Amino acid sequence: MLDDALLAPDHRRLLIGGDWRDASGGGTFEVLDPADESLLATVADASVDDSVAALDAAVAAQHDWARTPPRERSEMLRATFEKVTAQTDRFAELMSLEMGKPLGEAAGEVAYAMEFVRWFAEEAVRISGRWMTAPAGGTRLLTIPKPVGPCLLITPWNFPLAMGTRKIGPAIAAGCTMVVKPAPATPLTMLALAEVLTECGLPPGVLNVVPTTSDKDMSVRLQEDARLRKVSFTGSTAVGRTLVRQSADHLQRVSMELGGNAPFLVFEDADLDAAVDGLMAAKMRNMGQACTAANRIMVHSSVAEEFSAKVAEKMGALTVGRGQDDGVDVGPLVNAAAVDKVADLVADAVSQGAEVVVGGERPEGPGYFYPPTVLTGVPEAARITREEVFGPVAAITTFETEDEAVERANDTEYGLSSYAFTNDIARTIRLAERLEYGMLGANAGLVSNPAAPFGGLKESGYGREGGFEGIEEYLETTYVVIPVD
């Protein structure tokens, strides 16, 4: 059972208009520990009526919140940064319990998540328009940035703190109120964050948190409401398409961070040890459960054997177990369906001729575990080259030329992140220009940074989170013309 010192009973409830409350119909759902499938907590299951109440509260708070001085909004975010950072161990343990990642990695997510809060605390006081003389003279042109208004923020289970702060931070900084719907697999971390935000002075109604298992019904109902002005979603492309369609009736602003199928290219001139380290970062972060995870590992044929052996040695040395235990490198996946999908993709690749070098056998016993796995000789027809793995499997193929690598890397409907290891700077520039992705890790296995614009192309979505661009997603522009002559 979840240690009550980690989460007060109130914070297993809904937060609406500043009040912690039960679901209107009394519904609840269970949050399970993925390491042993035991019950962690029972959480209030928001009804559609609860979501409307949350939007009512956001709408009621919007006017005053938009007029709150930027410095006040900034200081609330800064206080949150300091308070959560001081409670890193608490948040890391809570996150590890509900989604499985090792404690060290969970602590790293706390630091990453809080950098979004600190970044947007700094950006809140730098929102500005412009003043100019019209080219023909006679008038002055003024642009005024304004908050978009009430937002629906839908966060995923794989980074339950960072994906929340990446949306909540700029919304607060810009002066928007919000309804937040965390993933039902991992609502506890978001509820704990909401607790801290309220303690740091966020007014009632600015942040409303409504965990629910009725995801579709809630989004349909809220998007039917003309008062909702923006939707930001991180998750699957299929769900993203649905939300975009639903946004059309009221032309709601949308930010979509969707699926990925990241290529990881290793050229013949690469530093192989650096490439292996980069792959471990790009592949094994969050047990491979990341939209930025390296999925299609393409290695020049002249170095493929050496590279594969080095990767297999690294992957085989990783320790699998409960995320809260000492020495564990790889925790459980989020649920049984995740394990089934990974196992099916591996089986499909093997049936078509791929060789299992390390791993490949799901363990017996409780918990949603799958071992770090390396496949070589993966045929292009295998499903694993077309579908997101979302698990700890490195599927390695080979290529002969730069043109072939680029063509195969772009041969997907996705375009989120990509990686390339080469010591040729001219090639790096060519790849940056030719690869159809929103992000490129050039000799780097991690692309995410709160100071940079995170987002993709094609069916990986649109809009950017983080960086100077991130706050623009929550602002509208009014233009004023002033005759002076």
| Bridging pattern class, strands 130-133 and 139-147 | antiparallel
Residue 422 and residue 354: Cα distance in Å, rounded? 26
- Taking the alpha carbons at both ends of the chain, their separation in whole angstroms is 73
SS (H, E, C) 376-394: ECCCCCCHHHCCCCCCCEE
> What is the β-pairing status of strands 39-44 and 28-32?
antiparallel
Q: Parallel, antiparallel, or unpaired for β 253-257 and 393-399?
A: unpaired
257's enclosing H/E stretch is strand 253-257
Please say whether the beta carbons of 84 and 114 come within 8 A: yes
Could you give the residue numbers annotated as active site?
257, 291
CA neighbor of 386 nearest in space, from 347, 345, 420: 345
CA dihedral 272, 274, 276, 278 (to 10 degrees): -140
User: Tokens in use for 335?
Assistant: 């649920």
Which residues neighbour 15 within 8 Å (Cβ) at sequence distance 6 or greater? Answer: 191, 194, 198, 207, 208, 209, 210
Q: Which amino acid would we find at residue 424? A: D
